[in-house]
Amino acid sequence: MKRISISAILLIFIISCNQNKTNSTIETTVNKTDSITIKNIFNTALTQGQSYQWLDYLSNEIGGRLSGSPESLKAISWGEELMKSLAFDKVWLQDVMVPNWKRGEKEIAYFTVNNTKFNVPICALGGSIATPKEGITAEVIEVKSLEEAQQLGEKLRGKIVFFNGPFDDTHIQTFKAYSGCAGQRYSGAKVTGEFGVAGVIVRSLTHNIDDYPHTGAMSYDDLPEDKKVPTAAISTKAANLLSEKLKENPSLKFYFKQSCVTLPDEPSYNVIGEIIGSEFPNKIITVGGHLDSWDLGDGAHDDGAGIVQSIEVLRLFKLNGIKPKHTIRCVLFINEENGLRGGKKYAEEAKAKNENHIAALESDSGGFTPRGFSFDANNTNTNLLLSWKPLLAPYGLHDIEEGHAGSDIGPLKSETISLFGYKPDSQRYFDYHHAATDTFDKINKRELELGAASMASLVYLLDTYLN
Amino acid sequence: MKRISISAILLIFIISCNQNKTNSTIETTVNKTDSITIKNIFNTALTQGQSYQWLDYLSNEIGGRLSGSPESLKAISWGEELMKSLAFDKVWLQDVMVPNWKRGEKEIAYFTVNNTKFNVPICALGGSIATPKEGITAEVIEVKSLEEAQQLGEKLRGKIVFFNGPFDDTHIQTFKAYSGCAGQRYSGAKVTGEFGVAGVIVRSLTHNIDDYPHTGAMSYDDLPEDKKVPTAAISTKAANLLSEKLKENPSLKFYFKQSCVTLPDEPSYNVIGEIIGSEFPNKIITVGGHLDSWDLGDGAHDDGAGIVQSIEVLRLFKLNGIKPKHTIRCVLFINEENGLRGGKKYAEEAKAKNENHIAALESDSGGFTPRGFSFDANNTNTNLLLSWKPLLAPYGLHDIEEGHAGSDIGPLKSETISLFGYKPDSQRYFDYHHAATDTFDKINKRELELGAASMASLVYLLDTYLN
């Protein structure tokens, strides 16, 4: 079904234009068999897809599933049972020790100006320590970046540092706005801790101006215990209000209280299933997402979508009678959000077992309408990938660009492997990312299914043309 | 600001590949000034945009605005005042007589099987007559298409004809699924009326399986009065249930009742505003959407989005100091949904006044993330348009394809005018189209703003390069 026959090559386009990574001539081969197979993959995904129903269960019946939580173990069992029920050739669990951070009681924050109390929607950042039981009260210093905080140095002592760097709305790709200010969330406490600050609060990483705080990982890095301070995200609406009130009342006091705790590491698992390759069983193409999520929402977009799409890729192969030459492996990685232990363990074990991973694809950008793929590959495979553009364009997959492929598959990086990231439309992602609003009702069935079909189509092409 | 200088032409790409309408060589000119201007348009739309706030008002303060309704007149006043407040060079109303169909009381429908009553979510189709006050009860014949109904002929007599042709989910562009079965809604009563049927019910035109009936226009065409029968849409979930129950109980009776009425035509208006061209004031580029909507939702996507984006196009020109060579005219067309009187009147008057319309752009596919433009143009302008692809691609505007441009601008069609339709992503459109679910909360601010910027960028290029 998937052999290249010279006679099947219908059209050869020579496109001489400015492409990423190469200005050289790219031969674009449009193969009729490929075109039909891809159409069949999309047809079955849209008419017989299961990803939406699976995600409904994962989101609504299991819910948020932070590493180390009982829900994360339920999700692991669910993933294992589901892949077994789909009759993949092999399904197993891979042991991973994961961090075990618990949020504790709902956080409280407020500030008072002229006897008016303003309650502030707040959530502890993942990895933060608790405040004392009675909470923390201190004056606030607002900064817009890590650099600005560092320059203030000793002036920060005793204060709550308020990182208020907003998203740059002019980026078309919202991930660029995110990466432009994610540092203040991840390293705000590390950078200011040595100046003896009282605590750190961070503007939520979203375009939206609303009442939802967005959590996410933070790190104290190598700070000594006595320099670690409680760190929390506050909603963008509260951040704007606080910033405004600080202008009039620079000495206003901010109060917050959180009771989060880091317990000893817990045993957990990557869930792995595979279809064994008919010609090259020892050459592996991995497709995956991460099974853990933050605890505030139900993790439908981050990354329940990637999980159900990855499982659906293998199901779509079976449904369409595609017998892959290479082994196609689906991995539900654990602990992407606060440790990446699953991704690291998977790569370590692959290395220890001398496994030959030729390609990996990750879906961890939400379940939105397809836009393309990012890639990190050598020149030969880059040219091959770009030659598939005419096959992918009818499905809205135009953005085929070099870039970050995925956190979980990152540790697999080598000279020979090609890494890919599924790129759905990014406009709505940070409306929900790491917040209580990341819930199943934000999923559009067709968009999710089109994503699964896009991923299956890429895996099909990789299996057909890679060696 | 917008003159072409030879020295400003930085890159010339010769793309020899399969393009719509031509296999010939297309010269793709990427002009640095154009690139900067388009970036500025997007930046201002995303950071200083007003379209979202306007749409909030139109949707939530005025709401559904069917032609002839008090709400439609409020929307007309709002549009006129808004354009005046933005200091466009000229703002005026154009008289249009519009149909005046009223839904009346909320419709009722049900069927009973084995003493169990199943209530059916239903809505009259626009233009339908009422049932008798006591409603209609009759047996049901299910068909999947107009052709199947015609073949049944006399067997339909006395029955309620149930058009149950579903969306074909395998179309990637959802408008294709819509056009594949819209005929049963528009012409179901016309085609079956001559066989003496009791009434017509039509499966809602959506992919979603839910409880919301989707209304829309229907026509009796030239049927005599005594052959006209009440016609309604039923929800997809009810359609599936009815179909299932009919298999077991082919003689089950269906009841429905509606009290809609067509009153005499009412005076109404297109709302028009323009910036007068600095070099060619008598050459006009029109951009618009339709101000009327159906009555069930608040018409946020259909077509409030197109309205606020069209006004924003002119505002973005002013905000960026772009002084157009041609006259740029914004038209808020009335009565697209059930008559197209606004579009027809605008074209008639343009012809009567011998106006020279060189291009027109319509936004009437929802306020979703940008995908491209459809066009209907002569070969010269087609090549020109395709040469702009590299300028538009960074904003997700890849789908530049020949096709239907827009209903309201359709009557302007001539040998010389180029017609364009803004194409946002289509996946979610028919979730809401013509239903109670088409409400402002389904609008994403960035997606709406990106659409306005996409349209302004195309109008900028048309103004710069068309003669």
**Eight-class DSSP state of B57:** I
Note whether residue B80 is domain-resident.
yes
Residues A368-390 have a mean pLDDT of 95
| A263-289 residue pLDDT tens | 999 999 999 999 999 999 999 999 999
pLDDT digits 0-9 by tens, A391-446: 999 999 999 999 999 999 999 999 899 999 999 999 999 999 999 999 999 999 99
The secondary structure of chain A in percent helix, strand, coil, rounded to multiples of 5, reads 35, 25, 35
**H or E element, residue B113:** strand B108-113
Residues B301 and B393 in one domain: yes
Domain boundary among B211, B242, B259: B259
CB B151 within 8 A of CB B142: no
The CATH number assigned to the domain holding A279 equals: 3.40.630.10
So what's the ipTM on this one? 0.93
The answer to whether B173 contacts chain A (CB < 8 Å) is: no
State the DSSP string of A211-250.
S-----B---TT--GGG---EEEE-HHHHHHHHHHHHH-T
Whether residues A112 and A94 share a domain: the answer is no
B311 in a domain, yes or no? yes
Based on the domain organization, do A455 and A388 belong to the same domain? yes
Of A169, A445, A446, the CB nearest to B46: A169
B219 is a domain residue:
yes
Between B28, B169, B428, which is nearest A444 by CB?
Answer: B428
The pLDDT tens digits for B318-363 are 999 999 999 999 999 999 999 999 999 999 999 999 999 999 999 9
Instruction: Judge if A88 and A131 occupy the same domain.
Output: no
B406: left (phi over 0), alpha (psi -120 to 50) or beta: left
- What is the tens place of the pLDDT at every residue in B386-428? 999 999 999 999 999 999 999 999 999 998 999 999 999 999 9
Query: For residue B229, is it within any domain?
Result: yes
Whether A395 and A451 share a structural domain: yes
Last residue of a domain, one of A223, A239, A259: A259
Q: Are residues A360 and A396 in the same domain?
A: yes
Same domain, A144 and A187: yes
**Interchain contact, B450 vs A172, CB within 8 Å:** yes
Residue whose structure tokens are 């029920």: A85
The type of residue at A372 is G
Radius of gyration of chain B measured on its C-alpha atoms = 24
Residue A211 lies in a domain: yes
Q: Say if B369 falls within a structural domain.
A: yes
Distance CA A221, CA B102 (A): 67
Per-residue pLDDT, B26: 44
pLDDT at A25 over 60: no
DSSP A135: -
Residue with token string 């279809």: A275
B248 and B329 co-located in one domain: no
Q: Which two tokens stand for residue B374?
A: 């459809």
Whether residue B226 is found in the same domain as residue B270: no
Q: Tell if the CB–CB gap between A169 and B447 is shorter than 8 Å.
A: no
Question: B interface mutation test: which of A167, A172, A442 has the most B CBs within 10 A?
Answer: A172
Domain count, chain B: 2
* Containing structural domain, residue A223: 104-259
Please check whether residue B381 lies inside any domain of the structure.
Answer: yes
Is A1 part of a structural domain of the chain? no
CB proximity A11 to B under 8 Å: yes
Contacts of B393 in chain A (CB under 8 A): 398
Where residue A216 falls (left for φ over 0; alpha for ψ -120 to 50; beta otherwise) is left
Indicate whether A295 and A443 sit together in one domain: yes
**Are A170 and B42 a contacting pair, CB within 8 Å?**
yes
Report phi then psi at B386, rounded to 5: -65, -30
Burial class (CB in 10 A: 0-12, 13-18, 19+), A14: exposed
CATH code, domain with A203: 3.50.30.30
- The yes-or-no verdict on residue B2 having pLDDT over 80 is no
Which domain-ending residue is among B199, B232, B259?
A: B259
The token pair at B53 is 């706030």
Instruction: Please report which confidence band the pLDDT of residue B5 belongs to, taking 50, 70 and 90 as the band edges.
Output: very low
Nearest CA in chain B to A445: B208
